[in-house]
Chain A
Amino acid sequence: KAGVTQTPRYLIKTRGQQVTLSCSPISGHRSVSWYQQTPGQGLQFLFEYFSETQRNKGNFPGRFSGRQFSNSRSEMNVSTLELGDSALYLCASSQTDRQETQYFGPGTRLLVL
């Protein structure tokens, strides 16, 4: 099976812009989670989607949002970008929303100038 894919892999934006990142989970996986990874804060949970519904949400401002489509693909959006949003954004998928292994994609590296 193909792994989790994320697009784009790299992105440069300026402050105030918005960005949309895409994630395609492993075939058959219905749960998708998003994480932000920075050197100073490590891996931080953004949100989780299962069957098009947001099941869990981390402590991020409302500028961070996401959605999941009927084919389990997911997008996350960040509006009004700030310099501090520069990070590696990781998507992970698992078969269900129960406690089981999440498989990560390669991430999208976002640089905000």
Chain B
Amino acid sequence: GESVGLHLPTLSVQEGDNSIINCAYSNSASDYFIWYKQESGKGPQFIIDIRSNMDKRQGQRVTVLLNKTVKHLSLQIAATQPGDSAVYFCAETPAYKYIFGTGTRLKVLA
């Protein structure tokens, strides 16, 4: 299948701190990127997206940064809360296909 996804890296963050989750994408032709959050037993939930003509986009408590030069995407979560604990995926879309990253597990410590 077309995907990456072997070992799941984990990021542990203290409640109230900021979280930064990184993603390296593979296709320089990708011009639309999405971050998803997946809680246990649920489907991925849309968080924020960004198109390649932007390098930063902000939502509520979340910011996505795009660096096309090094093909890197990051998701910043401000004032991380226990409800943010989940697996976070980035997705790139070359040629109308969606390719998902490995995923990062975010653990929020009380």
Contact = CB atoms under 8 A, between A and B. Distances in A.
Contacts of A43: 3, 5, 44, 89, 100, 103
Interface string A43-67: 1111010000001101110000000
Interface in B90-110: 93, 96-100, 102-103
B70 interface: no
Contacts of B42: 106-107
Contacts of B99: 45
A81 interface: no
B1 A99 contact: no
Interface size class of B (residues with CB under 8 A): 20 to 34
Contacts of B89: 43
Contacts of B45: 104
Contacts of B102: 42
A71 B27 CA distance: 34
A105 B38 CA distance: 11
B43 A99 contact: no
A73 B73 CA distance: 33
8 contacts: A40-B6, A42-B103, A43-B44, A44-B2, A45-B99, A99-B96, A101-B46, A102-B46
Interface of A: 4, 33, 35-36, 40-46, 48, 55-56, 58-60, 90, 92, 97-107
